[in-house]
Amino acid sequence: MSITHPHEVLVVIPARGGSKGIPFKNLKPVAGRSLVARAVEAARGAAWVTDVVVSTDSADIRFEAERFGARVIERPDELSGDTATSESAVLHALENTSGTPAVTVLMQCTSPFIDPADLDAAIGKVLDGGADVAFSVAENHNFLWARNDAGAVTAVGHSADFRPRRQDREPQYRETGAFYVMRTEGFLARRHRFFGTLEFQVVPAEHAIEIDSLEDLEIVRAMDSRPESTEVDVDALVMDFDGVHTDDHALVNFEGEEFVRVSRSDGMGVARLRRAGVPQLILSTETNPVVTARANKLGVDVVQDVADKAAAVTEWITLRGLDPERVAFVGNDVNDLPAMGRVGWPVAVADARPEVKAAARVVLQHNGGEGAVREICERVLAAQPAAEPAAAAIQTR
């Protein structure tokens, strides 16, 4: 294949913030990278691609997309509901892009194993004029069945009384949903992803999985699992207070004063990490003197009365001059999810909400208030370039 003059190829990745099936689906990590990040990296890895856009209504997805090098277009509310089509997001992106690219690609975050080489091959088929649309498919040799209008079981695409071997059957092709490469002029005229001459881009079966449910997500994570290391290689640590430093319980006396339980072991872990020069921050949505007292005793930064944890984490990271990819955030409940999406190492305590565990890169073995902080501190210490020197005992509680 040879192209004698340059062409502009725009990839549009629709990524809504809301999802009924999986909350915060597009920010879920697989092998340490969110679905948004994986899609952006796959698009940017294709040689033909000249521009990558993420269309979203979510500030957290915007942050993640820009962090991995994509341009972001804010999607209006009327195009962000459950009934909005992917085509509407692509059309909106084209309306908000200067010039008209020769080729536009619709790419889905929910396909986490897109190979840039497959994407490049599909783009080449459209640029060469062999197709108006090239889209990803996987071979399907299954015998399909359905019920007709009368409720009777019938064979689909084959005869029930003829059962040739797999190798003797012509394959059918299943649409994977991963990407659709379209000649922009035709797409703008038809306003639909299928038009003109269609062509397949056959991808391996292992690349054809689409995430629609939590079960799909677990399967994908198992497929792309890495040997888990106990180390957490970061330059800074941010921690929620209630449910991380505490067991998420409080004793309240008749005057309304609250008392919480913390772990002495956690305090030792924080002190050791502080001695290693690793910045730490305790973040709390409430204003409680006990949080200030605990942070002061531990000698770490503290921010309280936080309505937007994600913004607070980003501000602290910026002030410290840190790389978000090398920061860990430890949370336990759903209000921690946006902040977890702002760092490279989202971490959940062992008794965290299921949604938080699903979003975590690391799930600790200890519960909040019962050694979780000590565990994360030890994991961070284990990844430091030089071990902490033996020193006199550190007084802490």
Residues sharing a CB contact under 8 Å with residue 95, sequence separation 6 or more, in sequence order: none
Of 305 and 44, more confident: 44
What is the secondary structure of 254-270 as a DSSP string? TT--EE----HHHHHHH
Is it the case that residue 291 has pLDDT exceeding 50?
Answer: yes
At 45 the pLDDT is 94
pLDDT-based confidence at residue 226 (cuts at 50, 70, 90): low
Is 213 exposed, middle or buried, given 0-12, 13-18 or 19+ CB atoms closer than 10 A?
exposed
Whole-angstrom distance, CA of residue 212 vs CA of residue 63: 23
pLDDT in tens, 123-163: 999 999 999 999 999 998 788 889 988 999 988 877 878 88
Percent of the chain with pLDDT over 90: 56
pLDDT-based confidence at residue 109 (cuts at 50, 70, 90): very high
User: Quick check: helix, strand or coil at residue 65?
Assistant: helix
The mean pLDDT of 186-198, rounded to a whole number, is 96
Which position has the token pair 């019962």? 370
Angle at 365 between CA 360 and CA 367, to 5 degrees: 90
Residues sharing a CB contact under 8 Å with residue 92, sequence separation 6 or more, in sequence order: 55, 73, 75, 76, 79
User: Quick check: helix, strand or coil at residue 200?
Assistant: strand
Paired tokens of 238: 């941010």
Percent of the chain with pLDDT over 70: 93
Other beta carbons less than 10 A from residue 151's beta carbon: 6
At 180 the pLDDT is 98
Whole-angstrom distance, CA of residue 5 vs CA of residue 207: 31
Whole-angstrom distance, CA of residue 34 vs CA of residue 49: 21
pLDDT-based confidence at residue 229 (cuts at 50, 70, 90): low
Is it the case that residue 395 has pLDDT exceeding 70?
Answer: no
Is it the case that residue 377 has pLDDT exceeding 70?
Answer: yes
pTM: 0.66
Chain mean pLDDT for the chain: 87
What is the secondary structure of 13-70 as a DSSP string? EE--S--SSSTTGGG-EETTEEHHHHHHHHHHTSTT--EEEEEES-HHHHHHHHHTT-
Is it the case that residue 72 has pLDDT exceeding 80?
Answer: yes
At 22 the pLDDT is 73
Q: Is residue 268 within 8 Å of 397, Cβ to Cβ?
A: no
Domains in the chain with CATH codes: 9-140+171-223 (3.90.550.10), 236-382 (3.40.50.1000)
